[in-house]
Amino acid sequence: MLDFWPECGHRHLRPDQRGWLEPTGAWWAHWLDRPELALVAESCDAEIALHRALRTSPVMPVSAVDLAGIRDDDARENYRLFLALRDGLLAAGTLEAFYCGLFTKGAITLPPLFIDLVAQAILRHLLDEGADAFEARAAELLFRPQRISLEGGRVLAGDRATLDRLSDAGGFGAIGRWLAEAKVPLRAAQLQVLTTDNAVDYWHDGGRHRFLLDLTQHVAKELAPGVSVPLALARSGMAALARVLERWVTHLLGVAVAITPLPRIADERWRWHLGLDVQASAILDDLYLGVDVEADRLQQLLGLFRLDFERPSEMHADVAGAVVYLGLAMDREQGLRLKPQNLLLNLPLARRC
Where along the chain do its domains lie? Answer: 6-126, 133-137+144-232, 237-345
Give the mean pLDDT per block of 10 residues along the chain (353 residues): 86 96 96 96 97 96 96 96 97 97 88 96 94 96 96 89 73 50 45 92 88 82 51 79 98 97 93 98 96 95 97 95 97 97 96 71
Q: CB within 8 A of 210, min separation 6: which ones?
A: 159, 162, 190, 191, 192
pLDDT at 324: 98
The pLDDT assigned to 245 comes to: 98
pLDDT at 182: 43
What pLDDT score does 189 carry?
A: 47
15 by DSSP, 3-state: which? Answer: strand
Give the model's pLDDT for residue 208: 85
The answer to whether 172 and 333 are in contact (CB under 8 A) is yes
Q: Number of H helices and number of E strands within the chain? A: 15, 13
Taking the mean position of all CA atoms in its chain, how far away is CA 98?
17
User: 112-126 vs 73-92: helix axis angle to the nearest 10?
Assistant: 40
Res 2: pLDDT: 73
Strand partners, 21: 15
Q: CB–CB of 148/330 below 8 Å?
A: yes
pLDDT score for 286: 97
Distance from the Cα of residue 57 to its chain's centroid = 31
**How high is the pLDDT of residue 65?**
94
The rounded distance, in Å, linking the Cα atoms of 15 and 214 is: 33
| pLDDT value of residue 15 | 97
pTM of this structure: 0.90
Three-class DSSP category at 108: coil
Residue 62, judged by CB atoms within 10 A of its CB (0-12, 13-18, 19+), counts as middle
- Cite the DSSP H helix spans in 221-332: 237-253, 278-289, 295-298
Q: How far is CA 249 from the centre of its chain?
A: 13
